[in-house]
Structure 1
Amino acid sequence: MLSDALKKSIRKIHQHVADNLSDYKPRKGQNYLVAEIAKTLSGQYHRTQRICVMEAGTGTGKSLAYCLGALPYALSKNQKLVISTATVALQEQLIEKELPFFAKHSGLEFKFDLVKGRNRYICAQKLAMALEDAPSQLEFIPLSTTPLSDMEKKCLQQLQQAYQKNQWAGDRDSWADTIPDAVWHVIVSDKHACQRQLNGHQHCPFHQARNRLNQMDVLVVNHSLLLADLDLGGGTILPEPANCIYVIDEAHHLPQITRDFSSASGTVKGTMELLEKLSKFNQKLANAISSQRAIGLNFKLADALNDSQALLKKVRDFLNEQTFEYNDDNVYRFSDGELPQTLQLLSKDLNETSSLVMKHLRKMHEALTQDLSDGDVQSHVAEPILAESGVYLQRVENFNKLWHNLTHSSQSTPHARWLKQLEYKNSNDHLLADCPIEVGFYLKDKLWHECAGAVLCSATLTALGTFDHFAFEAGLVAEEGVKYLKVPSPFDYPAQATLHLPKVSCEPTDKAFTQMLIDCLPDFIEPAQGNLILFSSYWQMGEVAKGLRAKGLSLLIQGEASREALLNLHKTKIDGGNGSILMGTQGLSEGLDLPGNYLTNLIITKLPFAVPTSPVEEAQAEYVQKRGGNAFLSITVPDASKKLVQSCGRLLRKEQDSGRIVILDRRLISKRYGKAMLDSLPPFKRQIDY
């Protein structure tokens, strides 16, 4: 239960914050969220499972709500507050604005930091060695044969000098310019070579960042890093889940990111080439190890590599002999995720042999690491070999993950599995891929059942008015104690915006729709205002852009410049008293903040239905239909409904904003599902032309 002392503390903190916000307005919805979050985390609704799922409309102030509701409780229990986001923009907002303000004005004493993955940091040893003998350094990138260009070498020198003079912290994000991938791959930290126990690595930026982690009360991470920690059992990268309260902001992205994280893929010939290189490296690694153990491990690794290569040749020959019906993208999807029997048996064997390759390579790597730590091998000899070995280990882990995933039955936990034909060195290669269709069970086992508490929040978690779709995807269906909250935005929607559905000549399913957009869009564009036109496909946007430019309209098109450059140009035009027409697809329908005059006229050309052309979407639809469901109504429509709400959410960002939304897709009123989608939108003033 929430103690009286904690209630009093939260009220006091809230008052501190309110007194220091110049434009603060008491918000009933925000107060409700604070109270419900605190009650949930204190066990008022369920003794052990303390999970709150909240949809909070734009302007509710959800970040302040979860700081007020969760942080005082976490501090009182000596637990960490882990805030996980899907986008860098929100991370930056939390670290640079929200948390510093809260720390300064709440009266609470707490420390916070941004936690980034290892691959965002350099290895100081690699950086120091990188320019000693550049050609040899490239040898420890097994799949790279291209030497660094003069420009890339100059970049490397600049990085090295800046780091040595303490003018750069050693992470990719704090370098003012772009670091080319070829350069970064040479100096990036990796878990196998850059180890804390080695003297030369104790002061590497990654380990210094991790040392600070234990002193922090609030950790800001992204969903991928959170999943990486859970995949390792929890408590490896981040604190133990049982000692953490998680705030999953932008939670609507979590199921998809979990699906991507759990996926695996690999090419056949490309992997064969990798194993061939590893076979040659095996002896080099063995020669560097001082102990006699290296001899036995060397032979065991050689045997496992030979077995894996022989099996991959069988896979290559089998795939070459088949007459799969590939689609226009050279993809063949295995129905129901079921592989041919021959491939099933080969997958099982490759899972075993790749596990042995990984096991023996890891033991050899650990033996050399121990030699270096004991002083039996000199640093300049061991470090380059460990770096090379570390890259091979990462590649072999990916190799094993694919064949391990392919051995799992697709009946209990459905998987999408497919084959893609590729060109490889003037011949053909095959890419095999595996992706789980449902990931709710994973989140349930790894996160919801392990954490001290969780708050999931977003402006769009419901679909067609309920949390059912999200709860299913996130593994929260039938879980006891989960509290669902839907808090409307404080905006006065009918007074601030009009939703206009004009009468147009055809629907998006008609071939004439694209030409109709070219003909009618000038009637709805406001030349002197801030306009945003959203499309569902790049192709259609391109065709319409050509047609509108032929009519003399000046357009800012997504993809013709960077997102940042486009938005800056758009704002400059508006600030100069001119109008601007910005055109984009899904990338501009979420996370885009154009308050005030920057956006007053939003045009949505078409309902954002996903076309089930990817193997994963096709497999999802197939799985639902096999169970007697309707994939369009149970997956496609709810997803489109959420995306439509997100798109409409671009117009009003602040309580003083106003404008118009025009939707040119008549299916909102002509189709049965349209009414439910229309009713899911905020209560804008409606103008429907019949």
Structure 2
Amino acid sequence: MKAQWQALIQQAYRDFLAGRGAKARRGQAHMIADIAKSFAAIKEDEEGKRTSQQQLIAIEAGTGTGKTLAYLLATLPIAQAREKKLVLATATIALQEQLLLRDLPDLAKLTNLTFSYALAKGRGRYVCTAQLIKALDKSQPEEDATLDLFQAELVKQASGSGQDQLEKLAENLSSGAWDGDRDSLKENLPNEVWERLTTDHQRCTNRRCPHFTGACPFFNARRAMEQSDIIVANHDLVLADLALGGGVILPSPEQTYYVFDEAHHLPDKAINHFAASFRFNTALSWLRLLKKFQPEVLKKLGASSPSAARLLNQLVAPLEILERDLGALYGQLYEQVEHLPRDSRPAVHRWPNGVLPPNLLAFSEALVIHFATLCRVLESLVNLLKEAQDPEKNSSLDADLAGEWQPLLAVLHTRAQSAHQLWMLCAQQDPPNQAPLARWLVRHSLNEGDEDLELCASPVTAAGDLAYRLWSRCFGATLTSATLTALGKFDRLKQRAGLSADAVCKTYPSPFNYPELGVFEVPKQACDPSQAEAHTDAILDYMQEYLDHPEASALVLFSSRRQMNEVYDGLASQLRKITLTQDMLSKNRLIEKHRQRIDEEKPSIIFGLASLAEGIDMPGKYLTHVVIVRLPFSTPDDPVDATLAEWIEASGGNPFMQISVPDASIRLVQACGRLIRTEQDIGRVTLLDRRILTKRYGSQLLNSLPPFRRELH
């Protein structure tokens, strides 16, 4: 590492600690050094392109290590010196807010580092000025009845009762009181209203829009982001950018150093991002709508543009074929789910090993071609309408007319692309000796007895996509979290995230003295959850004995919403009065209400599901007891997990020991991590699942937990 980089980082660290009146933490200092050395060792050519292969480092840093400061100090000075962008990607809004509102301002205030930062968001989080003006414009002399009818049927429109609200938004936007960001609105705006006011990359006319230069909130934010040293994003936005080719929403990966905080979420985020689905009746509805209005659209747009007329005529054949084939396929697929029970849950049929029956495979191959044709024609139409709005282009189409129709046809193009993606995943052959795609069918019960079928396809691992789209391209990356290892090893992370076998991986334990601060217990009430009724009774018995007291401040974590509600219904009246469930309030309001009760010196208990097992911070008196009702194994009926398990078993492996146990280990550590958040916290973690003492995998799970003092009965 260059001496000036090292000196700059060390001085900044000393300044920060002095400003906080704090002492250096051993794990934090080691983490700074390891990340900085890893980043500095990356070699580049004269054009700034990476030439070395060892560009990644994964670091598990226990709670209290101070990993945020560590990766900021280790990466920022070198990124600036090398003229690279630094993208900080988180999995949760809470961590984004912490970075923007606390960590980055503190770093600027307490050190001699000079830097700028911005929050990156997708286009859909910003108002489109053109759309807002259009929504407000009541004075158009000639309304297009065809467009209005088509749009009203295709896109749910809000009622006119929101007109005053729209006028207020426009006034605040023009005066500068509002920056156009949905998240900065003081009042909640319903989704159906917001959808009228925003846009996407297909509908946006970019430089052709009269508001592009200074009145577009998205591009104003984009320009600010392009000038920033640090860009705060989330995992989904990084993945969306990569799916578009990289460098479209965020800076080019080749010129970017990424830090993925909460990196244990990245593989699952990637799997969800590269999955696709298709609802038959929903798709048939908009396809029939396009077919119905095609003659009228042809009259409107084709009259003055031979190119538009030619393209609109090309829609007829694929629309007729798609309507016919999808209708026939719906009837065949319905037989797969017709016999499944009808209850509150959607009915699911999964094809073993993701292998589709021959008739569905043949349909898929044909539908790929027809949706590809539809995509091509709609894309050409959208581009033609965008061109017509460009004053520098000599188009026979009226610019105002093109501007009216372009957003609607862009919506149809986006839907056609989504459908094409699903049928591509259904039609493709899974490569031999590689994990297959999961493919399954869902029957949804709608209002008034209506039903719809949804065909889904998903990779069972994101390793290949992440390795190809991200790790092979990025200038460098750090993955960090309090839980990257499973059962003490990085093997599961490497497998899921596509890291190479020789990727650098480090672990820094928490500085907390866990044996003095907390107890991990398996009490006498604990039993095997497979005995569902007995297990629910055991939870109720434990709560009555140990949580019915004036100082109760507890979080009870369930794996099943049904059991959570059963236990709540079975509580004695006094306990029910002090218990809040996740079904009652939003996550933030739930925690706020709980804190309020504790501040008033009243008892409070939260019943929560998996989303409360991580990412919430309730230090000190706000949480002194965490109860985990059962080991957090994934649900056995998840189509993606089931297909992956089949493949591992067919390959001679043990899916339970290779996937279920390691993943449960990570979730269990995360749940236990809710208890001790500072060096002053004390409390107890209770597990009401006796399998951790009776099953052969139990000792592995126990050994992966923080070193609490143990009370095992």
Please confirm whether the aligned pair reaches a TM-score higher than 0.5, indicating the same fold. Answer: yes
- Distance (whole Å) between structure 2 residues aligned to residue 457 and residue 483 of structure 1: 12
Corresponding position of 1:527: 550
- Distance (whole Å) between structure 2 residues aligned to residue 426 and residue 254 of structure 1: 38
Corresponding position of 2:48: none
Counterparts in 2 of 1:434 and 1:142: CA distance versus 1, 3 Å: farther
Deviation per residue, 1:546-582 (Å, 9 max, x gap): 2223455521222112222221221112112222222
- Distance (whole Å) between structure 1 residues aligned to residue 241 and residue 665 of structure 2: 32
The SS at the match of 1:499 is strand
Q: Does 1:516 align with 2:538?
A: yes
The within-5 A match list for 1:535-546 is 535-546=558-569
The SS at the match of 1:189 is coil
Contact 1:325/1:332 (CA < 8 Å) preserved in 2? no
Counterparts in 2 of 1:140 and 1:564: CA distance versus 1, 3 Å: farther
- Distance (whole Å) between structure 2 residues aligned to residue 288 and residue 362 of structure 1: 15
Amino acid at match of 1:304: P
Deviation per residue, 1:63-121 (Å, 9 max, x gap): 10000111111111100001111111111111111111112222122111000011111
1:382 to 360, 385, 402: 402
Q: Does 1:405 align with 2:425?
A: yes
- Distance (whole Å) between structure 2 residues aligned to residue 447 and residue 421 of structure 1: 35
Corresponding position of 1:467: 490
Q: Does 1:295 align with 2:309?
A: yes
Corresponding position of 1:359: 376
Q: How many Å apart are 1:361 and its aligned residue?
A: 0.9
- Distance (whole Å) between structure 2 residues aligned to residue 64 and residue 140 of structure 1: 53
Q: How many Å apart are 1:383 and its aligned residue?
A: 2.2
Deviation per residue, 1:369-428 (Å, 9 max, x gap): 111113755554222211111211111111111111111123544111111223568654
Q: Does 1:688 align with 2:712?
A: yes
Q: Does 1:674 align with 2:673?
A: no
Q: Does 1:11 align with 2:14?
A: no
Counterparts in 2 of 1:141 and 1:438: CA distance versus 1, 3 Å: farther
TM-score by length of 1: 0.95
Contact 2:347/2:442 (CA < 8 Å) preserved in 1? yes
Counterparts in 2 of 1:413 and 1:95: CA distance versus 1, 3 Å: same
The within-5 A match list for 1:362-373 is 362-373=379-390
Contact 2:25/2:65 (CA < 8 Å) preserved in 1? yes
Contact 1:140/1:387 (CA < 8 Å) preserved in 2? no
Between 1:495-504 and 1:545-554, the stretch displaced more is 545-554
1:306 to 320, 338, 358: 320
Q: How many Å apart are 1:151 and its aligned residue?
A: 4.2
Q: How many Å apart are 1:306 and its aligned residue?
A: 2.7
Between 1:587-596 and 1:565-574, the stretch displaced more is 565-574
Q: Does 1:617 align with 2:634?
A: no
- Distance (whole Å) between structure 1 residues aligned to residue 110 and residue 567 of structure 2: 50
Q: How many Å apart are 1:51 and its aligned residue?
A: 0.4
The SS at the match of 2:199 is coil
The SS at the match of 2:353 is helix
Q: Does 1:429 align with 2:427?
A: no
The within-5 A match list for 1:283-682 is 283=295, 286=298, 287-288=300-301, 290-320=304-334, 326=340, 329-374=346-391, 376=395, 377-411=397-431, 412-423=434-445, 428-478=451-501, 480=502, 482-504=503-525, 506-510=527-531, 511-525=533-547, 526-550=549-573, 552-553=575-576, 554-682=578-706
Q: How many Å apart are 1:187 and its aligned residue?
A: 0.9
Q: State the Cα RMSD in Å.
A: 2.2
Contact 1:123/1:201 (CA < 8 Å) preserved in 2? no
- Distance (whole Å) between structure 2 residues aligned to residue 109 and residue 139 of structure 1: 55
Corresponding position of 1:63: 68
Contact 1:195/1:201 (CA < 8 Å) preserved in 2? no
The SS at the match of 1:472 is helix
Amino acid at match of 2:673: G
Contact 2:242/2:469 (CA < 8 Å) preserved in 1? yes
Q: How many Å apart are 1:309 and its aligned residue?
A: 2.6
Deviation per residue, 1:144-171 (Å, 9 max, x gap): 4655235434433332332233221111
Corresponding position of 2:104: 99
Amino acid at match of 2:494: A
Between 1:133-142 and 1:313-322, the stretch displaced more is 133-142
Contact 1:139/1:388 (CA < 8 Å) preserved in 2? no
Identity of aligned residues (%): 37
| Paired residues, number | 685
Contact 1:194/1:201 (CA < 8 Å) preserved in 2? no
- Consecutive unaligned residues of structure 2, counting only runs of 5 or more, are 44-50
- Distance (whole Å) between structure 1 residues aligned to residue 652 and residue 385 of structure 2: 56
- Distance (whole Å) between structure 2 residues aligned to residue 323 and residue 453 of structure 1: 47
1:159 to 147, 164, 169: 169
Amino acid at match of 1:356: T
Corresponding position of 2:46: none
The SS at the match of 2:389 is helix
- Distance (whole Å) between structure 2 residues aligned to residue 32 and residue 445 of structure 1: 30
Counterparts in 2 of 1:37 and 1:145: CA distance versus 1, 3 Å: closer
Deviation per residue, 1:496-538 (Å, 9 max, x gap): 1111222226321223111121122222225314222212211
The SS at the match of 1:312 is helix
Amino acid at match of 2:10: R
Q: How many Å apart are 1:461 and its aligned residue?
A: 0.8
- Distance (whole Å) between structure 1 residues aligned to residue 435 and residue 148 of structure 2: 41
- Consecutive unaligned residues of structure 1, counting only runs of 5 or more, are none
Q: How many Å apart are 1:53 and its aligned residue?
A: 0.4
Contact 1:141/1:391 (CA < 8 Å) preserved in 2? no
Contact 1:275/1:309 (CA < 8 Å) preserved in 2? yes
Contact 1:593/1:653 (CA < 8 Å) preserved in 2? yes
- Distance (whole Å) between structure 1 residues aligned to residue 526 and residue 29 of structure 2: 47
Q: How many Å apart are 1:477 and its aligned residue?
A: 4.0
1:28 to 26, 29, 32: 26
Contact 2:525/2:541 (CA < 8 Å) preserved in 1? no
The SS at the match of 1:122 is coil
Between 1:606-615 and 1:88-97, the stretch displaced more is 606-615
Counterparts in 2 of 1:147 and 1:247: CA distance versus 1, 3 Å: closer
Between 1:255-264 and 1:303-312, the stretch displaced more is 303-312
Deviation per residue, 1:621-655 (Å, 9 max, x gap): 22222222222211111111111100100011111
- Distance (whole Å) between structure 2 residues aligned to residue 610 and residue 431 of structure 1: 23
The SS at the match of 2:102 is helix
- Distance (whole Å) between structure 1 residues aligned to residue 282 and residue 605 of structure 2: 46
Q: How many Å apart are 1:140 and its aligned residue?
A: 6.4
- Distance (whole Å) between structure 2 residues aligned to residue 256 and residue 580 of structure 1: 33
- Distance (whole Å) between structure 2 residues aligned to residue 686 and residue 320 of structure 1: 53
The SS at the match of 2:520 is strand
The SS at the match of 2:659 is helix
- Distance (whole Å) between structure 1 residues aligned to residue 151 and residue 32 of structure 2: 50
- Distance (whole Å) between structure 1 residues aligned to residue 519 and residue 234 of structure 2: 36
- Distance (whole Å) between structure 1 residues aligned to residue 521 and residue 409 of structure 2: 61
Contact 1:529/1:597 (CA < 8 Å) preserved in 2? no
